[in-house]
Amino acid sequence: MRDSTVQALEVCSIEVTVSLIGGCWKLTIIQKLLEGTLRFGELRREVGYVTDRVLTRQLRELEADGLVHREVFPQVPPKVEYSLTPLGESLRDMVAMMDAWGQRWAAEQGVEPAPSVLAS
Amino acid sequence: MRDSTVQALEVCSIEVTVSLIGGCWKLTIIQKLLEGTLRFGELRREVGYVTDRVLTRQLRELEADGLVHREVFPQVPPKVEYSLTPLGESLRDMVAMMDAWGQRWAAEQGVEPAPSVLAS
DNA sequence: ATTGACACTATCCTTACGGTTAGTACTGGA
DNA sequence: TCCAGTACTAACCGTAAGGATAGTGTCAAT
C-alpha cells in the first residue's frame, strides 16, 4: 500500500478515496475502462496526452489497489488487456457524479467546459 | 485559476473536479463545513494534523474556486468565519459517496477502516 | 535491410505541493 | 509583566509525482 493511502487511513475514508483515485489520469483511465476492456495502446490513444511511462505507472497502481485487472497474453507481439475489477466498476456512479459536477463548476465560473467523457 | 485546473479543462470534467477537490485536506475541510460554519481555529482543531499555513492555503484555494465563503469580522482579536457556498454545498452527495467507497475499499482490502467522518 | 507495432523499462529532470519554523498585531487574563 | 489566543504571513525545505527521452526484444510488413 502506498504511503499516501496509509496516511489517509489515519484521517478519514474520504482521504483514502482521494489517495486511490486522485492521481493524474486515474479517473480518466477508469472512465475509459468503464466502457469495456482495452489494450495498453488503445488506452493510451483514448486518454490522450499521457506518456507511456506515466500510463504504465498509473495502471500498476490501480492494479495494486485492486481496481484494475491486468491480463497478459503470452504471445508476440505482446498483448495486454486491462479491465475493471468489481471494485473498479463500483466507481461508475462516482465517475458520473464527478463528471457532472465538473461541468457545473465550469458553467458557474463561465468557463468553457471540458469535454464530457460520458457524451463521447 | 490554478494551472492544474486549466490543464484539466483541456482533458475532461472529471479531471477538473479532481483538480478542485483533490488537494490534501480539502475534502475533509468541506466535510466539516457541511455541518456548519466554523471559525479558523475551530476548523484547525476539527481537521486534526494540519498546520496553520497549509490550512490557510487550502481555504484560500477553495475560496478562489468558489466553494467556500470567507467572512472577516473587523474586530480584535480577529474573527473569521468559513462556510460553504451553494457550489460547495452541492458536494454533499459526493462526499458521502466517497466516504462510503473509501470504507468499502478498506473492507475489501481487509484493512482497518479509517474513521468515518459521517459517523462522528 | 529498415521500419513500425507492441508493451513496456530505465534514467533523468523539474515543478508543485505539503510541511516546518518563525514572526506579526492586538487584547484579555493570570 | 508575561503569556496565551486570534488569524494569519513570510521564508524556506524536501519529496514525490508527473513528464521527457531513449532503449528493449520480437515479429510482420515494406
Phi-psi region of A102 (alpha: psi -120 to 50; beta: other; left: phi over 0): alpha
Average pLDDT, chain B: 91
For residue B120, pLDDT over 50 is answered with no
- Tell me the pLDDT band of B65, cut-offs 50, 70 and 90: very high
List the A40 CA – C11 C1' distance (angstroms).
22
Sheet of A38-39: strand order equals A38-39, A79-84, A68-73
The 10s digit of each residue's pLDDT in B32-58 is 999 999 999 999 999 988 999 999 999
Nearest to B108 among A15, A66, A112 (CB): A66
Minimal CA separation from A95 to chain B, in Å = 7
For residue B70, pLDDT over 50 is answered with yes
CATH topology for the A23-91 domain: Arc Repressor Mutant, subunit A (1.10.10)
Interface contact A113-B8, CB threshold 8 A: no
Give this prediction's pTM.
0.91
- What is the structure's pLDDT at B117? 61
Q: Is the CB of B52 under 7 A from strand D?
A: yes
CA distance B101 to A18: 10
- What is the structure's pLDDT at A118? 57
Domain edges within chain A:
23-91
Chain B residues closer than 8 Å to A91 by CB: 101
> Which residue carries 462522528 as its cell?
B120
Given a cut of 70, the residues of chain A with pLDDT beneath it are 117-120
CA distance A16 to B93: 17
Region B14-43: mean pLDDT is 95
Interface contact B102-A27, CB threshold 8 A: no
Write phi, then psi, for B38 (nearest 5 degrees): -140, 150
For residue B103, pLDDT over 80 is answered with yes
Closest CA to B45 of B68, B28, B20: B28
